[in-house]
């Protein structure tokens, strides 16, 4: 099950680290966020190393739908109500700066960059759309109302963001990481202060940036309480219409649409990792009804780290740690959030203030009821009797019949049928007997 991006890009490859090393900044994790951190630090002349446990772009990055947009669902009305106008404007400014940085970088990178209008639609609630437009007006952003979309069903309305973008994520990552100080197949097993231990040596750094999707350190930051993971599914259709933009349902159970070349990408069927959902069955049933002459060319799935308040955690790992930084909880909007992370964290490790620090601070307050609800999910699964347990924190694993994997509903670790690790935060394979 390789994504469209995997099957239409090459990988040049980097060596693995064989010895001890010293650096000013160590980046752990080689997805878009980590790669951009390395790129910006390289451009700034900062001494750095990036370590990736597998291959660059080989984790969540390879499975994105690769929309580069400031429009993150109907988020701005929510942000104003939760945090006020100033923080909502800070969030929007960060996303717009990220979009502009992509425009600049992609001028010299062959990655299929295309400007497209982005839409978030509601099937049945025009009021939600109007509230979002009112929020955007308060923030000074030119959002537009659309009543009709080139989709095979009517909508109550949509918010249009003009001049957003899409691209080929792996071609982009491959281009920006060429020639950088990167080591693949080099897993960090332990952190002690700012010293990282691998299977082949120790890396002593002045500062460390963790961009491993789900943070792998449990003893700081309480990310095991502040995050959960969500599965989403994608099919790519031949002989399907060009919808002319990027579209996403405001409902988490709805569908997304965008084209790449002659293919129509439809996303949806999602569910919390370890739970049940529509998956590819839902997408294929939809395609069969509305695009009966189309043929499925690719299908894949992805996993998103979800924060409890809808805003990523980007900044110091915790209030009690120094010289340790994190970027996580991108909530399905990994492309602009990765760029925001790189810009913000590269400022911080160089001793500069960032205009975006406050809204993304990992130490910001989270509502107790949100923490309690997410924590209860872990408690339930910790108490579930089973022989299949996640090595991360011991939660009961669930069998995912669609993908033939063992999934953890607590924190989203995933394993193949025979126990090989697929997705973190677990750091090792399972020892499985015969499946019951």
**pLDDT tens digit sequence for 369-387:** 666 666 666 666 666 766 6
Q: 51: helix, coil or strand? A: strand
Neighbours of 393 (CB within 10 A): 17
Integer CA distances (angstroms), 173 to 9, 33, 152, 338, 434, in order: 11, 10, 34, 12, 40
Indicate the helix (H) or strand (E) that contains 228. strand 227-238
CATH number, domain 4-64+170-225+310-360: 3.50.50.60
- Residue count (the chain): 436
- The angle, 0 to 180 degrees and rounded to 10, between the axes of the packed helices 169-177 and 32-44 is 30
Fold of 368-422: Rieske Iron-sulfur Protein (2.102.10)
Chain-wide mean pLDDT for the chain? 92
Phi-psi region of 294 (alpha: psi -120 to 50; beta: other; left: phi over 0): beta
Query: Rounded CA gap, 148 and 231, in Å?
Result: 29
Tell me the per-residue pLDDT of 195-226, one tens digit each, with 9 for 90 and over: 999 998 999 999 999 999 999 887 787 888 88
Of the pLDDT bands very low, low, confident and very high (cuts 50, 70, 90), residue 10 is: confident
State the helix-helix crossing angle for 85-106 and 75-83, rounded to 10 degrees: 140
**pLDDT, tens digit (0-9, with 9 covering 90-100), for 245-286:** 999 999 988 999 999 999 999 999 999 998 888 999 999 999
pLDDT for 433 beyond 60: no
Query: What are the residue ranges spanned by the domains of the chain?
Result: 4-64+170-225+310-360, 368-422
pLDDT of 435: 43
For residue 115, give the 3-state DSSP assignment.
strand
User: Is there a common fold for 4-64+170-225+310-360 and 368-422?
Assistant: no
* pLDDT for the residue numbered 372: 65
């Amino acid at each position: 099950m390789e994504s469209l991006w995997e099957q239409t890009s090459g990988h040049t490859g980097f060596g693995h680290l064989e010895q001890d090393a010293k650096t000013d900044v160590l980046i752990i994790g080689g997805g878009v966020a980590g790669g951009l951190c390395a790129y910006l630090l390289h451009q700034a002349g900062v001494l750095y190393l990036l370590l990736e446990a597998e291959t660059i772009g080989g984790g969540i990055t390879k499975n994105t739908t690769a929309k580069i947009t400031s429009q993150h669902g109907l988020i701005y009305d929510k942000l104003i109500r939760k945090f006020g106008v100033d923080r909502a404007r800070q969030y929007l400014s960060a996303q717009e700066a990220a979009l502009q940085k992509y425009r600049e970088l992609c001028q010299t990178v062959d990655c299929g960059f295309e400007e497209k209008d982005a839409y978030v639609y509601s099937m049945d609630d025009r009021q939600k759309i109007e509230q979002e437009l009112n929020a955007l007006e308060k923030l000074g952003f030119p959002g537009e109302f659309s009543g009709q979309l080139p989709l095979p069903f009517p909508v109550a309305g949509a918010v249009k963001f003009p001049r957003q973008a899409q691209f080929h994520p792996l071609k982009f990552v491959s281009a920006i990481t060429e020639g950088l100080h990167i080591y693949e197949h080099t897993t960090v097993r332990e952190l002690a202060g700012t010293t990282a231990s691998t299977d082949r040596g120790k890396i002593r750094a002045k500062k460390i940036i963790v961009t491993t999707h789900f943070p792998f350190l449990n003893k700081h930051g309480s990310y095991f309480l502040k995050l959960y993971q969500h599965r989403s599914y994608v099919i790519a259709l031949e002989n399907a219409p060009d919808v002319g933009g990027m579209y996403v349902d405001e409902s988490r159970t709805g569908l997304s649409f965008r084209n790449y070349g002659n293919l129509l990408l439809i996303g949806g069927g999602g569910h919390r990792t370890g739970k049940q959902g529509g998956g590819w069955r839902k997408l294929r049933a939809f395609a069969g009804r509305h695009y009966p002459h189309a043929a499925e060319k690719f299908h894949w799935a992805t996993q998103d780290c979800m924060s409890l308040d809808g805003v990523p955690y980007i900044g110091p790992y915790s209030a009690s740690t120094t010289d340790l930084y994190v970027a996580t909880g991108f909530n399905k909007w990994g492309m602009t959030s990765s760029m925001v992370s790189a810009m913000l964290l590269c400022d911080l490790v160089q001793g500069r203030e960032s205009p975006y620090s406050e809204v993304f601070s990992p130490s910001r307050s989270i509502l107790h009821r949100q923490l309690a609800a997410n924590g209860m999910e872990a408690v339930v699964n910790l108490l579930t009797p089973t022989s299949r347990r996640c090595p991360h924190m011991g939660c009961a694993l669930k069998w995912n019949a669609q993908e033939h994997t063992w999934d953890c509903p607590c924190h989203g670790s995933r394993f193949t049928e025979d126990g090989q690790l697929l997705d973190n935060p677990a750091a090792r394979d399972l020892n499985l007997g015969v499946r019951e």
